[in-house]
Structure 1
Amino acid sequence: MQRSFRVTRRRFATASLAAGAPALLPGCAPPAGVMPYEEAVRALWRHGAVDRGDAAAVRRELVRCATLAPSSHNTQCWRFGIEPQAITILPDLTRRCPAVDPDDHHLFVSLGCAAENLVQAARAHGLEASARFDGANKLLRLALEPTAAQDSPLFQAIPRRQSTRAEYDGRPLSADELRALERAAAGDGVQLVLLTGKPALEEVLAFVVQGNSAQMNDPAFVDELRAWIRFSAGDAVRLGDGLYSASSGNPSVPAWLGRLMFGFFFTEKGENDKYARQVRSSAGIAVFVGPSDDPAGRIAAGRAYERFALQATALGVRTAHLNQPVEVAALRPAFAGFLGLPGRRPDLVLRFGRGPTLPPSLRRPLQAVLA
């Protein structure tokens, strides 16, 4: 669901000086009137303290937790409606990514991720959220009923989860850890395929490289990705969406310089080499296959993935997407065949393992996502 470009600080600084521009680092001061990035992170990535007796405040906190879910290019392609006994999640079609996601597959997966965060947060606040997809209106309604509060490890993991687009340490996970991930993802007819053997990871890497090469040679894809990159901390805070450069381990620079240098560093070979290092440093790869190839099935896949990612976070395990084999339509049938699932549509591919924490992405304010 998310992409990144890899640039070393030294290479970026050298190229910046060669272009006659100063090389700026992540600590650059934000524009006047814009909250510092570190302050924005502290304000966002936390559990809110609300009075459970204040129903309106609780519902707003549930929505805030939902917005901490991942979305394609961090577009935050959702809108929320708050009712007395329910919360609805609707797609925000103004934030579509038609180049990488022409059939809105990732958009509805993203709604599922947000829904799962909301379900986990509701339980922690003494509410049971029962989800029902309204196909006619393409919205997800989560009815809220009182229940005993349950402060689960998955809820606690919500403000610590991130898509960590870095190399991992290469160590395998234990059998108990793998079983915990499988249990978390189970339900709603979603099939999880876990691959941990090196030969299988190399085969997936071959699909990733083939898909990445196709995307890198698609000008519409490259333009769309560039439009969602936030090259500076100031822009990341001001806009509250998109892919912040530092979240991929890259320098934070002025937007004009980032756009200027993007084409110089974002190359097919560079990206393919990066994915090879990342896959080979991972403990395994997980593939999610929803029960149906429609919005309801994609929402189910998104919910299962989010439970997996939250459980991984609780175990100290990082995750990151490798969705090229499912984003490039020409590759999907062969990839499904490799998985032993001919005729099915795999929904999500991600790698997992232990690795560093990177600067987190940001989110838009709550009022921007309320319908």
Structure 2
Amino acid sequence: MIWIKGHRRRIGDLLCMEIGRRIFIGGAVAGAAAIGAGLWWRGFSAPYVAAADHLTAPLPSQPETLDLVRFATLGANGHNTQPWRFSKVADGLAIAHDFSRRTPVVDPDDHHLYASLGCAAESLCIAARARGLSGEVGEAGAEGLIVTLLPAPPEDGALFNAIPESQCTRSAYDGTRLTYEEVSLLEAEATVHGVAAIWREGAEVELILDLVIAGNTRQMDNPAFVAELKEGIRFNGAQAARTGDGLYAAASGNPTMPEPVGRILFDAFFRKESDNDKYADHIRSSAGIFTLVAPSNDPAGWIAAGRAYQRMALRATAMGLRNAFLNQAVEEPAMRAELVSLLDLNEMRPNLVFRVGRAPPMPRSLRRLPEAVMD
């Protein structure tokens, strides 16, 4: 009997090792293959499916304030922390920072936090204009910004229709190139907010890849970063639906599992070597990389970079393209300085880095209910 118990324990240990290896080394590849066979992830968690369907439900023809806030929160944001608060003002909605949701290790100067406000603001503006509201942003800065919601002629269009479909797709892409016209259309969306979108493809991508890998290595060698990252992971659909935030494991192509098991396997098998290999594969499978550069290195500029990214992400979605962030190249100061030199930016700060290409959709990370982010 003692031998049987020990034997079972050894088998269990081997199974955990194999599960961990598949999750944190081959998970992205396995997940992408499974996606190709259908939306397998929808069957994993009824709470997740219900939350995702509610989140992306069509915007009513005459939306209430909370409907507009729901569409605003579909904007991209750093580590899906959703660091924003919405409040009614005389002519519209104010969007302010929520410093309780900072990520101080990866974003010590709150750059990504303010860019996240810009992403939410842009989605709100586009949704408002589609429903006959002005959707204009006044002065933006350290305290946030205000979006006016006064009556105006409706402006429906491709960007609005793309809001519920847009996502950061963290998988390998199909490797096909973008045409000159496709790149130009994406670049034009950034210039709407005075932001430069610098495109690199082909052999030039390898130089940025080196910076991403170097930045990722530094982050993975930092225990505080790893702890911050782990705290933000949602290991299964029920957990993701309960919190409404964080990085849903399936969104990166990883199998879902009970939270206690996920935390154990994360500690045991999450390693920089396999993570770096994954990023290299993902980047080399992409059509190319955009770097966004705002006209000023302050909260107003960071918000503008977020607004520019959101427009580009929505345009890419409307064009059948996917994108995913590669911000390790700007999050680590040493890598950011090298990127400045590589792109000949002088004293300008590169704000956001992301890859673009073609791929099937992945599961999405969820958002908190509008009531939870309204003052």
TM-score greater than 0.5 by the shorter chain: yes
In 1: Cα distance, 2:273 partner to 2:350 partner? 26
Distance 1:223 1:143, change over 3 A: same
Instruction: Specify the alignment match of 1:99 in structure 2.
Output: 105
The CA deviation at 1:17 is: 7.2
For 1:284, the aligned partner's letter is G
Q: Contact 1:230–1:236 (CA<8 Å) still a contact in 2? A: yes
The CA deviation at 1:139 is: 2.0
Instruction: Specify the alignment match of 2:72 in structure 1.
Output: 66
Match of 1:214 among 215, 218, 230: 218
Gaps of 5+ in 2: 1-11, 24-39
Instruction: Specify the alignment match of 1:169 in structure 2.
Output: 174
Instruction: Specify the alignment match of 1:6 in structure 2.
Output: none
Query: Aligned-pair RMSD on alpha carbons?
Result: 2.1
Q: Contact 1:29–1:36 (CA<8 Å) still a contact in 2? A: no
In 1: Cα distance, 2:258 partner to 2:13 partner? 13
Match of 2:262 among 251, 258, 264: 258
The CA deviation at 1:26 is: 5.3
The CA deviation at 1:167 is: 0.2
The CA deviation at 1:182 is: 1.2
For 1:270, the aligned partner's letter is S
Instruction: Specify the alignment match of 1:185 in structure 2.
Output: 190
For 1:42, the aligned partner's letter is D
In 2: Cα distance, 1:28 partner to 1:117 partner? 29
Match of 2:148 among 140, 143, 151: 143
The CA deviation at 1:263 is: 2.3
Distance 1:63 1:18, change over 3 A: closer
The CA deviation at 1:86 is: 1.2
Q: Contact 1:333–1:342 (CA<8 Å) still a contact in 2? A: no
Q: Contact 1:333–1:343 (CA<8 Å) still a contact in 2? A: no
Match of 1:82 among 88, 93, 101: 88
The CA deviation at 1:312 is: 0.1
Instruction: Specify the alignment match of 2:49 in structure 1.
Output: 38
Instruction: Specify the alignment match of 1:131 in structure 2.
Output: 137
The CA deviation at 1:266 is: 1.5
More helix by share: 2
Once the two structures are superposed, residues 124-146 of structure 1 have per-residue CA deviations (whole angstroms, 9 ceiling, x without a partner) of: 010112212354x6121112222
The CA deviation at 1:40 is: 1.7
Q: Percent identity?
A: 46
The CA deviation at 1:47 is: 1.9
Instruction: Specify the alignment match of 1:352 in structure 2.
Output: 356
Distance 1:260 1:47, change over 3 A: same
Q: SS of 1:348's equivalent?
A: strand
Once the two structures are superposed, residues 98-139 of structure 1 have per-residue CA deviations (whole angstroms, 9 ceiling, x without a partner) of: 00000000000000000000110011010112212354x612
In 1: Cα distance, 2:54 partner to 2:126 partner? 20
Instruction: Specify the alignment match of 1:288 in structure 2.
Output: 292
In 1: Cα distance, 2:159 partner to 2:14 partner? 43
Distance 1:184 1:18, change over 3 A: closer
For 1:192, the aligned partner's letter is A
After TM superposition, the runs of 4+ consecutive aligned structure 1 residues lying more than 3 A away are 12-15, 17-20, 25-30
| Residues paired across the two proteins, number | 346
Gaps of 5+ in 1: 1-11
Query: Which range is displaced more, 68-77 or 141-150?
Result: 141-150
For 1:60, the aligned partner's letter is L
Distance 1:230 1:13, change over 3 A: farther
Q: Contact 2:117–2:144 (CA<8 Å) still a contact in 1? A: no
The CA deviation at 1:29 is: 6.3
Q: Contact 1:233–1:252 (CA<8 Å) still a contact in 2? A: yes
Q: Contact 2:134–2:151 (CA<8 Å) still a contact in 1? A: yes
Once the two structures are superposed, residues 330-365 of structure 1 have per-residue CA deviations (whole angstroms, 9 ceiling, x without a partner) of: 221111110111221100000000012111111111
Matched, 1:337 2:348: no
In 2: Cα distance, 1:45 partner to 1:65 partner? 8
The CA deviation at 1:229 is: 0.1
Query: Which range is displaced more, 209-218 or 177-186?
Result: 177-186
Q: SS of 1:36's equivalent?
A: helix
The CA deviation at 1:49 is: 2.0
